[in-house]
């Protein structure tokens, strides 16, 4: 398949090739370069997709989704009412929605019954349309803790280690730990409260790293964030710096995050402009400032939406990225957050996230140029995932 466009964002640095082309063979990027050069390598019968006013860029990565949740007003109740077969059917359709907006890789940070792994296998075998899924399987939480209903309760270092091993044996590619509470879970710890002891968290990180898996820590609370950083987790999710009475960003902890090369996924909903209405102007400003402070300090931020929780649909990643533009981040850095940087954080940086020969053919074509107008990401023309071509807006 030969794809030509006005601009191609090529290589690890997404440098612009004007009037460029990408040649895809057997699921892999075979060649990227100026159109005339790449065309010479294409066979006469090669399928051709011409987008003379568009841009080809690497497929987007949503580093934080929950395929098991429906993004409705009560995602937990809906989940609990569904059996595995009905849930699997819904998860399959959500995977198609992600693909439709150009998301070709997701990290699923918590589902039930290994269904995301089953879906990943179906997608890999071509039985379902969807992005590559890096699955955490069941998140690790204390008894009755945040998202206990997903089946990952563990108490004490031994139980924590056993659960990490169970997930690793099942095929998890990352271990998710609920280091603090969360709003989604009624009757559990508050968002700012730490759920695990330092000893339990150390055991979890040790067991995960021993199994060759990174750790993603859900951490809203400032204390939990600090504890996760010291325990040596690999990514911090949400990272909202909450205390019992507000928001307290700690510059010393941010410095440690940078020093330890920890990625932070702030989980931004496409409806972020509603936050001042939802939390009040002052609180929303403090939330925005916290992310800006991390960005300014050089924290390696990655894009994620928490798709599946209330108001976070599976088509929201492109719109969510405008949040970072609002904070003043350069468009180039925002694209990196949703491609190369996210790929690295997910442990798939040598197979996806860039248009480079030998990488998986995960790409999208948008109308216009996202380097001059980020809104271009919302006019998807073509999506290619693992070399399979999908029409815009709908998985074939």
- Interacting residues toward Zn ion by CB under 5 A: 306
**Gyration radius of the chain's alpha carbons:** 20
Q: Minimal distance in Å, beta carbon 62 to Zn ion?
A: 11
Q: How far is the CB of 174 from Zn ion (least distance, A)?
A: 13
- Least distance (Å) between residue 63 CB and Zn ion: 10
**DSSP symbols for 139-152:** PBB-TT-TTGGGS-
State the Cα–Cα distance between residues 329 and 212, nearest whole angstrom: 33
Minimum separation from the CB atom of position 342 to Zn ion (A) = 15
CB atoms within 10 A of CB 50: 12
Cβ proximity to Zn ion, 29 vs 65, nearer residue: 65
**Are 242 and 193 a contacting pair, CB within 8 Å?**
no
Rounded CA separation 69/94 (Å): 9
306 vs 362, beta carbon nearer Zn ion: 306
The phi, psi pair for 327, rounded to 5°, reads: -75, -15
**Are the CB atoms for 343 and 353 separated by under 8 Å?**
yes
Which is nearest to 323 in space by CA: 315, 334, 339? 334
| Cα 365 to Cα 239: distance, rounded to the nearest angstrom | 32
Q: Nearest to Zn ion by Cβ — which residue?
A: 306
Q: How far is the CB of 110 from Zn ion (least distance, A)?
A: 6
CB nearer to Zn ion: pick between 29 and 103:
103
For the CB of residue 49, give the shortest distance to Zn ion in the complex, in Å.
35
Among 105, 109, 169, residue whose Cα is nearest residue 137: 109
Q: Which is nearer to Zn ion, 306 or 315 (CB)?
A: 306
220 or 381: CB nearest Zn ion = 220
Of 265 and 335, which CB lies nearer to Zn ion in the complex structure?
Answer: 265
Min separation Cβ 234 and Zn ion, Å = 16
- Minimum distance from CB of 66 to Zn ion (Å)? 6
Residue pair 228/200 in contact by the 8 Å Cβ criterion:
no
Stretch (H or E) spanning 251: helix 251-259
Q: Which of 239, 204, 395, 372 shows the shortest CA–CA distance to 380? A: 395
Q: How far is the CB of 135 from Zn ion (least distance, A)?
A: 13
**Residue (179 or 306) nearer to Zn ion, CB:** 306
- Residue 62 or 306: the one with the smaller Cβ distance to Zn ion is 306
Distance between CA 233 and CA 222 in Å, rounded?
A: 15
* Share of the chain residues as helix, strand and coil, in percent rounded to the nearest 5: 35, 25, 35
**Backbone φ/ψ region at 156: left (φ over 0), alpha (ψ -120 to 50), beta:** left
Q: Rounded CA gap, 259 and 280, in Å?
A: 33
**CB nearer Zn ion, residue 267 or residue 340:** 267
The smaller minimum CB distance to Zn ion, of residues 193 and 306, is found at 306
Q: How far is the CB of 109 from Zn ion (least distance, A)?
A: 5
């Amino acid at each position: 398949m030969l794809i030509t466009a006005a601009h191609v964002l090529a290589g690890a640095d997404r440098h612009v090739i004007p009037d460029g082309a990408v040649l895809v063979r057997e699921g892999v990027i075979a060649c990227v370069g100026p159109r005339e050069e790449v065309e010479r390598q294409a066979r006469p019968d090669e399928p051709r997709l011409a987008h003379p006013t568009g841009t080809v860029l690497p497929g987007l990565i949503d580093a934080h989704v929950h395929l098991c949740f429906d993004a409705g007003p009560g995602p937990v109740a809906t989940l609990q009412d569904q059996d595995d077969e009905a849930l699997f059917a819904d998860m399959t359709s959500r995977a198609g929605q992600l693909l439709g907006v150009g998301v070709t890789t997701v990290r699923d940070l918590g589902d039930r019954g290994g269904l995301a792994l089953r879906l990943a296998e179906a997608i890999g075998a071509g039985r379902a349309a969807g992005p590559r899924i890096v699955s955490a399987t069941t998140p690790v939480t204390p008894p009755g803790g945040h998202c206990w209903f997903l089946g990952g309760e563990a108490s004490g270092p031994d139980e924590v280690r056993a659960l990490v091993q169970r997930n690793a044996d099942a095929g998890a590619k990352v271990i998710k730990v609920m280091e603090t509470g969360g709003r989604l879970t009624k009757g559990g710890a508050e968002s700012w409260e730490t759920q695990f002891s330092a000893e339990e968290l150390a055991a979890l990180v040790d067991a995960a790293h021993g199994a060759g898996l990174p750790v993603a820590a859900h951490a809203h609370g400032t204390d939990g964030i600090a504890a996760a950083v010291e325990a040596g987790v690999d990514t911090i999710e949400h990272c909202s710096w909450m205390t019992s009475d507000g928001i307290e960003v700690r510059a010393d902890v941010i410095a440690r995050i940078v020093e330890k090369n920890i990625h932070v996924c702030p989980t931004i909903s496409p409806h972020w402009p509603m936050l001042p209405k939802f939390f009040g102007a002052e609180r929303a400003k403090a939330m925005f400032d916290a992310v800006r402070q991390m960005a300014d300090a050089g924290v390696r931020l990655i894009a994620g939406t928490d798709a599946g929780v209330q108001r976070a649909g599976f088509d929201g990643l492109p719109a969510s990225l405008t949040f970072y533009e609002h904070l003043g981040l350069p468009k180039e850095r925002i694209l990196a957050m949703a491609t190369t940087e996210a790929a690295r954080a997910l442990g798939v940086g040598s197979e996806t996230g860039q248009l480079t020969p030998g990488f998986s053919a995960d790409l999208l074509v948008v109308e216009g140029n996202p380097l001059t107008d980020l809104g271009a990401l919302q006019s998807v023309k073509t999506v290619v995932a693992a070399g399979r071509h999908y029409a815009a807006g709908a998985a074939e």
